[in-house]
Structure 1
Amino acid sequence: MIYPSGRAVWAAAAGAVPAFLVALALPSFWYLGLLWSCLLLAFLAVDAAAGRGRASLNASIDAPQQVGVGGEFGVQITARHSGPRAVEARVGHDARLAPVSGSGGALQPTAGGGSLNLRFQALRRGVASFDRLWVRWRGPFGLVWNQVVLPVESKVAVLPDVSSARGEAITLLQHAALAEGHAQRRAGQGREFDALKDYQPGMGRRMIDWKRSARHGKLLAREFRIEENNNIVLAIDSGRLMCEPVDGVPKVDRAVTAALLSAFIALKGGDMVSLFGFDARPRVSSGAVRGPANFAMIQKRAAEIDYSSEETNFTLALTTLAARLDHRSLVIIFTDFVDPISAELMLRTVGRLTERHLVLFMLMKDTELEGLADMPPRSGEDVARAVVAGGLLRERQVVIGRLRLLGAHVIEAEHNRLGPALVERYLQFKQEDLL
């Protein structure tokens, strides 16, 4: 792409005044006023041809692979060229990123090219991208801009910042008294056989190994330990209702933060963790991983859970999830619903899921509805709002009650307590050997 520079515009404007005066003073020689325009056009043509022919650009973008929400990071634009001396560049980005001091500028000369350092701030969670790069340079006379648009593909995973909440989660883990960071061993609990020991008064009769007791001539009891390789599935709904804000932050972002906290604790405890995101159809599915070293991978896959304006299809999502689970798992579902009618399909699918798996629903309290229901009735409109809000809250409790009747566990917590509440319940499940 070629277009005139500011210098060419000013030169053309400067030549218009003499041309007008020549035409006014010497009407029969009016064409002499066009000499400046013709001369300027000739210089423009030479400038365009020389600048375009001397340019052999090869530009690239260097950006970090991941960054936390609200954090700033640097982006380096590097261009290698042999012709133009002064090169300017501008990078295109999506709405998840905001430039701190502009998205472009002049490249500083380096050996064989130039470089430009820019600063950006991550505004929202997700996978941000730099999709194109505009590079331009002027010809030898500075009258023409030569511009090219280079397609680039540089992605930055914008992750929720869980560093501030990790301390609280680790404190909960320490309070659970897990010996040496593994599952606590307790006689008579768990499913994995550990050892035989002499039967003691107070032990249950079902712990007695009758065959070995007959062989040794004394009562022997089986001792079990809690398994450490439990499968934890974090299923996050990113549909329309979950994208509504709570205290200025979308519900899905708060759900992702709570899920990452529980994943951090579960990986520390030796369990296997997988991530599953869905709205109208399944979107994100990570394989089950074990060990704290894989937490970074779970974080990166969580950034791929995008915001959606579609209605959630629970039947398709939960059926797909159930088909991928080979053995009993703890399925933690982060979702939201309004009334029993919209949640009817979800209830039908959950009933089949609880037959084999332990299902836990994580819900955020609707503080807006609760505030409307408790609003002082100063006018008729306030009374109407309170009645409607109270009805919606009662219908919500009906759905929660039906979920519990189906065998699912439900936690309804404040948005800022969602993560710690989930960690507490997860540790409780381990202690009670429900996994």
Structure 2
Amino acid sequence: MRPSRLLLILAIALLLVTCVVALMPVDAGFAIQVAWGGLAAVAVIDLLLSRTGRSVAVDHDVPAQIFVGTSAPATFTLTSRRGALPKGLDVRFDLDDALEVGDFTGPNGAIAESSVADVPLYCTARGTFTFSRMWLKWPSKFGLFDIISRKKIDETVKGVPNIQPVLSGQITTQVQAQLYGVKSTSVRGEGSEFHQLRDFTAGMDPRMIDWKRSARHGGLVARETHAERNHQIIMCVDNGYLMREVIDGLPKIDRAINGALATTWAAGLGGDLVGFYSFDSRPRLYLPPAPGRAAFNRIRMEAASLEYNSVESNHTLALAHLNGQLNRRSMIVVFSDFVDQITAELLVENLAVLSRHHLLMFVALRDPSLERTVNPEDPSLGNVAMAVSAAQIHRERQIVLDQLRRLGVVCLDIEPDKLTPELVSAYLDIKAREMI
């Protein structure tokens, strides 16, 4: 309970009147005493007639886990033990910074015998967070006090990597349609595995005719092949301070983990082996390649436990360590970032070394705010100066990516919301072309 604004205004006004009367040569002490006594009496009566905090009960249903970057409904049921719920009810919550709560909206403005409200609970980081208290506030009968009630929640909410594209079947449909659907593929790699022989028909590639078997068979016979399986795919995640940058409400590292898990699931459907590697100032976790579906849960668990680090990444040590762990040609998907052309020199050099023996895909997240800064809507002097600096950063970024492309590295510089579909599509394209 605390004094309301109305009570404070009345008290200050009465105090000013008291001061003025005290300075005047009149005897109004009795009237002042009556005024203060009347205000006190009204305040006491207001408290006696008002609802207490115990008259409102709260039941809650808070989700145990939330995908990072998404929201889940938390259900709260307010029940009045005496009549309708108080008018002017306001709700606030005590919770960790990584959790955000939407507006509390109940039916009929939460004025009823019982009110049930679904509040969107948004998670912006991985980890375990506390949803501790719920605060209720409503005005007293005469509006002289704010009645405040604290309700204990004490629930823990886990922020976990977002695997909604996997659970929805979106990636499964995309992979099965691409790899196993009925289609005509004109691009053939040098490492296609033999599948079977079949009679040559019009429209088939003449280069697939097996002339020796055709002579033995007495008719044209073509070799039918399918894409190689059991490739090694390594998800290499940079966990340095640059990956902690928040883009559209979510750190880069979390977007990288979400994309890596989606690609892990796609690779499992494609019959490939998937491993996981993380680094910052030194090499950290390394999970050897395993069958994709079997590796998915383990990679998801280990990726969810990665801490947010504030150290500078050592690409030389990390990529050299990874190169020593691999004993066969692999596809390495590197999730990292750089500030400018100078700081990216070591990154380019080490990726060049890896690209001699492995197929590399470099994934960088483009900041949409940088694009908006380059093309400002308001051409003021300050905005033009910022646009020039942003354009310089954009040019240096393109120079580094062009250097990587000349080395044979597949580069993806995409916006955050397009990362998962673009990454899975790039993997399927590489697999179809048998570039690994």
- Verify the 8 A CA contact 1:96 1:128 in the aligned structure 2: no
- Verify the 8 A CA contact 2:275 2:295 in the aligned structure 1: no
- Verify the 8 A CA contact 1:314 1:345 in the aligned structure 2: yes
- Verify the 8 A CA contact 2:65 2:159 in the aligned structure 1: yes
After superposition, where does 1:193-212 map in structure 2 within 5 Å?
193-197=194-198, 207=208
State the TM-score, normalizing by the size of structure 2: 0.61
CA–CA distance in structure 2, aligned partners of residues 366 and 68 of structure 1: 22
Match of 2:274?
Answer: 273
Match of 2:104?
Answer: none
Match of 1:178?
Answer: 180
Match of 1:432?
Answer: 433
CA–CA distance in structure 1, aligned partners of residues 97 and 228 of structure 2: 42
CA–CA distance in structure 1, aligned partners of residues 157 and 301 of structure 2: 10
Q: Report SS of the residue matched to 2:421.
A: helix
Change (3 A) 1:273 1:157: farther
Change (3 A) 1:218 1:287: same
Change (3 A) 1:287 1:281: same
- Verify the 8 A CA contact 1:185 1:226 in the aligned structure 2: no
After superposition, where does 1:267-346 map in structure 2 within 5 Å?
267-346=268-347
CA–CA distance in structure 1, aligned partners of residues 96 and 418 of structure 2: 29
CA–CA distance in structure 2, aligned partners of residues 201 and 378 of structure 1: 63
- For 1:336-391, what per-residue CA distance to the aligned partner results, in whole angstroms no more than 9, with x for missing partners? 11211111001111112111211111121121221111114533222211111101
CA–CA distance in structure 1, aligned partners of residues 216 and 173 of structure 2: 47
- Verify the 8 A CA contact 2:262 2:420 in the aligned structure 1: yes
- For 1:183-236, what per-residue CA distance to the aligned partner results, in whole angstroms no more than 9, with x for missing partners? 999996552222345667877776565666677777765443212212111111
- Verify the 8 A CA contact 1:157 1:300 in the aligned structure 2: no
Change (3 A) 1:184 1:177: farther
Change (3 A) 1:426 1:352: same
CA–CA distance in structure 1, aligned partners of residues 187 and 383 of structure 2: 58
Structure 1: 5+ residue stretches without partners: 1-63, 74-93, 101-120, 131-154
> 1:270 offset after TM fit, Å?
1.8
CA–CA distance in structure 2, aligned partners of residues 211 and 334 of structure 1: 48
Q: Report SS of the residue matched to 2:228.
A: coil
> 1:292 offset after TM fit, Å?
2.5
RMSD of aligned Cα (Å): 3.7
Match of 1:367?
Answer: 368
Q: Which residue identity lines up with residue 321 of structure 1 in the other structure?
A: L
Match of 1:251?
Answer: 252
- Verify the 8 A CA contact 1:284 1:304 in the aligned structure 2: no
Match of 1:262?
Answer: 263
> 1:320 offset after TM fit, Å?
1.3
CA–CA distance in structure 1, aligned partners of residues 100 and 199 of structure 2: 70
CA–CA distance in structure 1, aligned partners of residues 236 and 406 of structure 2: 21
CA–CA distance in structure 2, aligned partners of residues 310 and 400 of structure 1: 24
> 1:95 offset after TM fit, Å?
6.5
Change (3 A) 1:193 1:242: same
- Verify the 8 A CA contact 2:242 2:338 in the aligned structure 1: yes
Residue 387 of structure 2 is aligned to residue 386 of structure 1:
yes
State the TM-score, normalizing by the size of structure 1: 0.61
Change (3 A) 1:366 1:191: same
- For 1:319-350, what per-residue CA distance to the aligned partner results, in whole angstroms no more than 9, with x for missing partners? 11122122221111111112111110011111
Identity of aligned residues (%): 38
Match of 2:171 among 160, 164, 169: 169
Match of 1:19?
Answer: none
Match of 1:82?
Answer: none
Match of 2:404?
Answer: 403
Change (3 A) 1:165 1:272: closer
